[in-house]
Amino acid sequence: MSEIYHVLRSSQFDRKFLDELYDITNTLRKISQSKKGTDYLRSLMSDRRAMLYFTQPSTRTFLSFLNACQILGIQCSEIRDSSTSSEIKGETQEDALRTFSSYVDMIIMRSPVAGLADRVAELLDDTPRRVPVINGGSGKDEHPTQALLDVYTLRRSFGKTGGDLDGKKIAMVGDIKRGRTVRSLSRLLRHFKDVHIYFVSPESLKIEDDLKKYLIENGMNFTETTNFEEVIPEVDAIYMTRIQDEHDESGESKAIDYSKYYFTCDHLKILKKDALIMHPLPRRKEIDFHVDADPRAKYWRQERNGMWTRVALIAKIFGADKDITEPYGA
């Protein structure tokens, strides 16, 4: 698969798509280093419009999509709070999003409602005004574009030629049960050989059965453990996550000792010299701020990679990736 329309879940992507997106993203970054290149990119999709429908709080995902659209010359409209739309009058989210499709060429959405992006994509597929839908985060389920930027960051960090992740050991630490970034990234890693995932979490926040079943069915190697310090010297990358207490039903997260899953400056001494530290952000206390100065800390680079990966993804959806060449337009 190299063509794509809706972006709803990470299981849509195959290795060919990941390789193509990696190359497009790298080329985009080179082109953007000059004013001539920046102006050229802005001309590629100046005839397109996008709606950013973000009814769940977001900083990085919203801003990276907004700037990704601007890099390609796309004009943007936005809804950041459903109380500012006709939903306050009782309009359904599905009707609201179909309304938006009348005015724009693409809908990028983030919602606390699991499965909403899928339902909207299916609805629009049956209308005369069909537009692509990008899932920018859906409940506890999926965050497919975060997984794309995470894989890009891993590959770019491990090797300038897009070094494969084959044989790498990756620890995913923290709220594994409710972390949608972990769920999406774990699914994407199946496209690389002999990757071993260590799921490190408190007992009550362990990997859920549906993801475990997916990994087993796809022949992936993984280990579940509660011992973070034991894993640190063994792995090539550590993917930290915060506790997802916005999904609490009765404040149950308060009873969990999460401090055992914090990465401290002392841990830098036992981490491999060429290992990576990642985090989808925002963070709380799970990574000491002093760790930021260590060259193995890649989460700020990961954040910027998100914008460029999303530029490449949007360009690919509309076929503009064919014009992202060096020299420009050749």
**Which residues belong to the active site?**
60-61, 89, 110, 143
Structure tokens belonging to residue 129: 């005004």
CB burial of 45-66 (b: ≥16 within 10 Å; e: otherwise) equals beebebbbbbbbebebbbebbb
The type of residue at 322 is K
CA distances 114 to 126, 141, 143, 301, Å, are 21, 6, 11, 29
Q: Under a CB-based contact definition with an 8 Å cutoff, are residues 131 and 124 in contact?
A: yes
Structure tokens belonging to residue 151: 């894989």
CA distances 266 to 104, 183, 199, 271, Å, are 50, 28, 21, 9
Helix (H, G, I), strand (E, B) or coil at 291: helix
In the chain, which residue ranges form alpha helices assigned H by DSSP? Answer: 15-31, 35-43, 60-71, 93-101, 116-125, 144-158, 180-188, 209-217, 228-231, 299-317
Q: Which residues does 247 contact at the CB level (< 8 Å), separation at least 6?
A: 140, 178
